[in-house]
Amino acid sequence: MAARPSLGLLIFLLGSVLNCFAEPVPLEITPVAPVRLETRGNVCFADFGQAAFGNLQITFREPVPAGKLTVRLGEKLNATGAIDRQPPGSVNVREIELVTSADQRVYQLTIPSKKFHLGAASVKTPPAIGEVTPFRYAEIENAPEALTAASLRQLAVHAPFADDASAFECSDPTLNAVWALCKHTMKATTAFGIYIDGERERIPYEADAYLNLLSHYACDLDPRMARATFTHLLAHPTWPTEWSLHMPMMADADYEATGDPVMAADHYDALKKKLLANKAGPDGLLRASAIVDWPAAERDGYNDGVVDQREKKQVGPEVNTVANAFYYHALRCMARLALALQKPDDARAFTAQADRVYQTFNTAFFDPVRGVYTDGVGSAHASLHANMFPLAFGLVPPERRPTVADFVQSRGMACSVYGAQYLLEGLYQAGRPDAALRLMTSHDERSWWHMIELGSTMTLEAWGAKAKPNLTWNHAWGAAPANILTRFVLGVRPLEPGYTRLLIAPQPGMLTSLSGKVPTPLGAVLVTFSTDAHSQSLVIEVPPGAKARVILPGPAATSSERVLVNDKPVTLQPSQGALALDDIPAGHYVIERLAPVRN
């Protein structure tokens, strides 16, 4: 099998990876040197530190005799420290024959396509790149000369990614490791110029793409990948009810982050159809089963596990909490997009529909005796999902939030890595930062730390092989902490599209210090927080062209307390139980709260 010559350091592509309607996304190849190289008998073992989608380049000092080498690439090691040749599920290992010739020094592997990747729905790698595979480790058997660190390079394929656009560090080492895991996932999974669901299928899905967008933008606010994926999904939709409703959410999140409603402007009529309003009954609620969570075992017993036989993979009851929570949120998103596109009549109509869903939802699904939402009409079962989605989407009236939040908190991580996005959002929206932090810093099997312990450097498709036997180790929908840490722990979110007015409201919870950098179209927002028994310090940088509303961590004290802003005393008015500064202009601010406070 002949080897291809090196492709060089940088390749810009026209997007054969995308459908013909999408803008091309340029891809880059970054050569990565091994961080560890060992000779084990006749095998040269290399560890590149992190997994990436790519190829392996081997450079010999002199042309070597014609022959054949066996090369293995893998994501996981076995108990002996060698590449695991029988890893669980869809964890990657490839064994490839490399043919050498007497007149060649530099080689790349010719990686065969897997059968799964040949299907019509799978995103194909561009011809200029060739087939890639995810790997961290390489083994070369019977190399004709002793290989050194200079001999081997992992050719990591990815879209342009500004590594210094974002940062996060705090007083908890586990959380720092989780951030690094999730941020690397955002970069490494851009290798196809479009968001995919992982190595097994390489298919874009709407829910995956929405979560990917949130975390990608938290790390590097480059919208090209998200917009190409959005266009692809309009042409190649998938089947679950909530996945359709993620499309207005995706368009709205892009608009909020960038200030440009281009997704809605270019595809407004198609987006309206994604609401599935034709499935709404006279009471305004959707009649549609829901996927709820995936894999199916992660549904926390939703509707006592009864699957809708008409939909097979979805769950009833026909009028249920999860589909309608997403419907409500998607309607709110469409109302904002309609206003941005100067369609006030549509905005009023979407708002009226959302208001109606809010009222009916809280009448049809809430159990006042238990203080929780049931799974749907005709079901007495109350799952985590029936409560965390309403909590995340603002469907829970203030007087009901304590009991709903108590229930959500009591269930722990009774959802998948996908559901974790909304579980964490719900806890932060309910003012439960410590509960959310405990989940993100957990060392249990159902945790991000467990992914790191297993040896993965990208987030997994599920919490482990027990939850999903065919899981991949390169699934971006598992990287929720990347956006949760920036949006809620650092507390940086847009109040107006494009961050022209933004919120800085850190929720450090039990953390004693944190710092971070959040990208916006106007420049980076910088946040540093520390606290001790006697004071808090919050240092922020608001970029040019922006104004910020700053909410200090912790409640407003009942007695007077001293607050200094850039060494000048100020009087702050309590706002919803906290201390806030409104519409401060661009600049650097050191805010010190000198009275004892509790987070």
Which CATH number does the domain housing residue 42 bear?
2.60.120.260
Q: What is the pLDDT of residue 63?
A: 87
Structural domain contains residue 17: no
Q: What is the pLDDT of residue 558?
A: 54
Structural domain contains residue 399: yes
Which region among 80-89, 427-436, 536-545, 555-564 has the lowest average model confidence (pLDDT)?
555-564
257 pLDDT tier (thresholds 50, 70, 90): very high
Nearest to 123 by CA among 63, 205, 65: 205
Same domain, yes or no: 394 and 478 = yes
Beta-carbon contacts of residue 493 (< 8 Å; ≥ 6 apart): 487, 502, 503, 505
Same domain, yes or no: 235 and 281 = yes
Same domain, yes or no: 322 and 425 = yes
Is the model's pLDDT at 16 over the cut of 70?
no
Q: Are 345 and 289 in contact (CB under 8 A)?
A: no
Same domain, yes or no: 463 and 515 = no
Structural domain contains residue 20: no
Is the model's pLDDT at 560 over the cut of 70?
no
What's the rounded Cα separation, in Å, for the pair 483 and 1? 44
Domains in the chain: how many in total? 3
Task: Give the residue from 459, 484, 509 where a domain finishes.
Answer: 484
pLDDT, one tens digit per residue, over 34-56 is: 999 999 999 999 999 999 999 99
> Domain range for residue 419?
194-484
Amino acid sitting at position 112 = P
Higher-pLDDT residue of 312, 163: 163
Same domain, yes or no: 479 and 503 = no
266 pLDDT tier (thresholds 50, 70, 90): very high
Amino acid sitting at position 149 = A
8 pLDDT tier (thresholds 50, 70, 90): very low
Q: Are 448 and 184 in contact (CB under 8 A)?
A: no
Q: What is the pLDDT of residue 314?
A: 93
pLDDT, one tens digit per residue, over 470-512 is: 999 999 999 999 999 999 999 999 999 999 999 999 999 999 9
Q: Are 135 and 84 in contact (CB under 8 A)?
A: no
Same domain, yes or no: 73 and 127 = yes
Task: Give the residue from 134, 158, 182 where a domain finishes.
Answer: 158
pLDDT, one tens digit per residue, over 449-468 is: 999 999 999 999 999 999 99
Q: What is the pLDDT of residue 346?
A: 98
Structural domain contains residue 137: yes
pLDDT, one tens digit per residue, over 64-93 is: 889 999 999 999 999 999 999 999 999 999
Beta-carbon contacts of residue 56 (< 8 Å; ≥ 6 apart): 71, 73, 108, 109, 135, 138, 152, 153, 154, 155
Same domain, yes or no: 296 and 273 = yes
What's the rounded Cα separation, in Å, for the pair 57 and 106? 7
pLDDT, one tens digit per residue, over 171-189 is: 999 999 999 999 999 999 9
17 pLDDT tier (thresholds 50, 70, 90): very low
pLDDT, one tens digit per residue, over 339-362 is: 999 999 999 999 999 999 999 999
Structural domain contains residue 570: yes
What's the rounded Cα separation, in Å, for the pair 474 and 460? 6
Query: 10 burial class (0-12, 13-18, 19+ CB within 10 angstroms)?
Result: exposed
Supply the CATH number for residue 347's domain: 1.50.10.10
Structural domain contains residue 331: yes
Is the model's pLDDT at 338 over the cut of 60?
yes
Beta-carbon contacts of residue 497 (< 8 Å; ≥ 6 apart): 255, 256, 257, 258, 259, 260, 261, 340
Q: What is the pLDDT of residue 20?
A: 37
Task: Give the residue from 484, 506, 536 where a domain finishes.
Answer: 484
Same domain, yes or no: 139 and 268 = no
* Model pTM score: 0.94
Structural domain contains residue 163: no
Structural domain contains residue 492: no
Is the model's pLDDT at 118 over the cut of 90?
no
Same domain, yes or no: 381 and 445 = yes
What SS3 string covers 247-293?
HHHHHHHHHHHHCCCHHHHHHHHHHHHHCCHHHECCCCCECCCECCC
Same domain, yes or no: 323 and 424 = yes
Is the model's pLDDT at 7 over the cut of 50?
no
Supply the CATH number for residue 508's domain: 2.60.420.10
Is the model's pLDDT at 524 over the cut of 60?
yes
Q: What is the pLDDT of residue 277?
A: 97
Same domain, yes or no: 293 and 407 = yes
12 pLDDT tier (thresholds 50, 70, 90): very low
Same domain, yes or no: 295 and 380 = yes
Q: Which helix (H) or strand (E) holds 357?
A: helix 344-364
* Average of per-residue pLDDT values in the chain: 93
